[in-house]
Structure 1
């Protein structure tokens, strides 16, 4: 009888160990991380047009460009706040970041996409500069984005600037692309908004996206010319920056000191939040912009 008891006990122990092992395996499987679904064929925001990404600032407690396209930076009154993905740059009436070194990958841009998340409020008294690629020999810089002050309004008057300095020179070498009148941006204040603008140097076309949606722009904005099209002007073609010196986030080149003069009173620092600032050396396709928006919103 004792023999059968021992066999029964031994069998019970083996069965218990088997089920314990199965339960542990089940628990491990339950606790395994569930893989993300791809968005537009991408797993991570950095996978989008990866070979064309020349500059990226995440502002996770620092001012570093992870692509090393824009380096040697010094922040003035820079602070950080919770962003769309990690932390974000928090602007103020005196905040900006000055970078002394710009790589050829940024200087020699022929086409461009600029992507960023912004959260800001209406302002008055002038125009706030989100970023600028300066030009030593000109009052205006090469490439930049401004938000004009419109007072306590619900619409944003956005201006982007591109440059084409070639020999022989063209009549319309520096161009402001203005979203005014019927093309002002609506519902842009008080919440995080994903903003992407692109210029394609091959087709001479400009596009703007808000939260992944491409805006329906008239040809007067989207099609760029080197001279007056009514007088036989041809397409603007590839960008050509010149006399590039330094880079600034949150201000104008005049805020950098020499060789520029003092800033005019209307030249304001950006006072809002900014996150995931990127520069590409190509015009992103519609599906790439959508994927970038969704992936960053998903904290990827």
Structure 2
């Protein structure tokens, strides 16, 4: 009996030591930082094509470009709301931001990727401009994205625009990539959606991504030409902006005043929300777009 007592006492000491050791390990585990799992080989969204990221607006109670490229911003009726990462730009029928200085790296962009999160609702009566790289000598401007008014189906008719002004001039210098008909964007309203479009000057190819997924586009939309391909037109090639002046978020270049005329009645300010607006001077790869979507969604 005495022997059994010693065995029991020894076993109790071992068990107690085990639990103390486990508790200490648990405390160390709780206090130690847990490393994030890399996504696509990246730890944060800013690591993706870092050398090509030329503009970034996060709208954390500021209208400033964190890359300090686009500067001199003046906001009109700008407010903020909860975004996909922190705060976000909150548009209205009278809101926009005008920037007076545009960096040469944006003016001289040859290929491009534009990335942003938007959260908006259907509208009627005209087109809303998300952003514009203006052109003093032209009605439309250089590079911009428009959302047209929609009908009961609540599909989004989105238009992207690019420019190629060269000497000698080409027939199709300014081009709209229009998501209409079978290419209307579905399920885009009432929630945060990640939107990326790219243009690759080397291949004259346009691509669109929604929530990291590359859309299947017909060649008539994805392949861009300098003139009619049915009559021997060549690929559109690299971009060439001209007469660039200022930059605008949430409006058309006509909202800036001179040298443009007043906005037409159909030219509407963007009334939705926008977050993590980025411009790259390269066409992001499929994997880079997926990683960007996942990392920003993960608040990284």
Structure-2 separation of matches of 1:107 and 1:52: 14
Structure-2 separation of matches of 1:296 and 1:247: 24
Once the two structures are superposed, what CA deviation does each residue of 1:121-164 show, in whole Å capped at 9, x if it has no partner?
Answer: 00000000000000001101100000000134320000000000
Within 5 Å, give how 1:1-300 maps onto structure 2: 26-300=26-300
1:214 to partner: Cα distance: 0.2
Structure-2 separation of matches of 1:211 and 1:52: 21
Structure-1 separation of matches of 2:34 and 2:208: 35
Structure-2 separation of matches of 1:68 and 1:279: 13
Structure-1 separation of matches of 2:232 and 2:21: 80
Once the two structures are superposed, what CA deviation does each residue of 1:168-218 show, in whole Å capped at 9, x if it has no partner?
Answer: 000000001100001000000111000000000000000000000000000
Confirm or deny: 8 A CA contact 1:123 1:152 kept in the other structure: no
1:27 to partner: Cα distance: 1.9
Structure-2 separation of matches of 1:60 and 1:194: 18
1:29 to partner: Cα distance: 3.3
1:233 to partner: Cα distance: 0.1
Aligned residues: 283
1:21 to partner: Cα distance: 10
Gaps of 5+ in 2: 1-18
Q: Secondary structure at the match of 2:292?
A: helix
Structure-1 separation of matches of 2:20 and 2:97: 58
Structure-1 separation of matches of 2:153 and 2:190: 12
Structure-2 separation of matches of 1:59 and 1:151: 30
Structure-2 separation of matches of 1:224 and 1:259: 30
Once the two structures are superposed, what CA deviation does each residue of 1:198-250 show, in whole Å capped at 9, x if it has no partner?
Answer: 00000000000000000000000000000000000000000000000000000
Structure-1 separation of matches of 2:135 and 2:81: 31
Of stretches 27-36 and 274-283 in structure 1, the one that deviates more from structure 2 is 27-36
Structure-1 separation of matches of 2:119 and 2:20: 52
TM-score w.r.t. length of structure 1: 0.92
1:286 to partner: Cα distance: 0.1
1:28 to partner: Cα distance: 3.6
Structure-2 separation of matches of 1:230 and 1:22: 75
1:68 to partner: Cα distance: 1.4
Structure-2 separation of matches of 1:154 and 1:47: 35
Number of the residue aligned with 1:15 = none
Q: Secondary structure at the match of 1:151?
A: coil
Structure-2 separation of matches of 1:297 and 1:104: 31
Q: Secondary structure at the match of 1:264?
A: coil
Structure-1 separation of matches of 2:164 and 2:211: 29
| Aligned-CA RMSD value | 1.5
Confirm or deny: 8 A CA contact 1:56 1:277 kept in the other structure: yes
Q: Secondary structure at the match of 2:294?
A: helix
1:22 to partner: Cα distance: 9.1
Runs of 4+ in 1 over 6 A off after TM superposition: 19-22
Structure-2 separation of matches of 1:41 and 1:272: 32
Confirm or deny: 8 A CA contact 1:150 1:157 kept in the other structure: yes
1:31 to partner: Cα distance: 1.6
1:20 to partner: Cα distance: 8.5
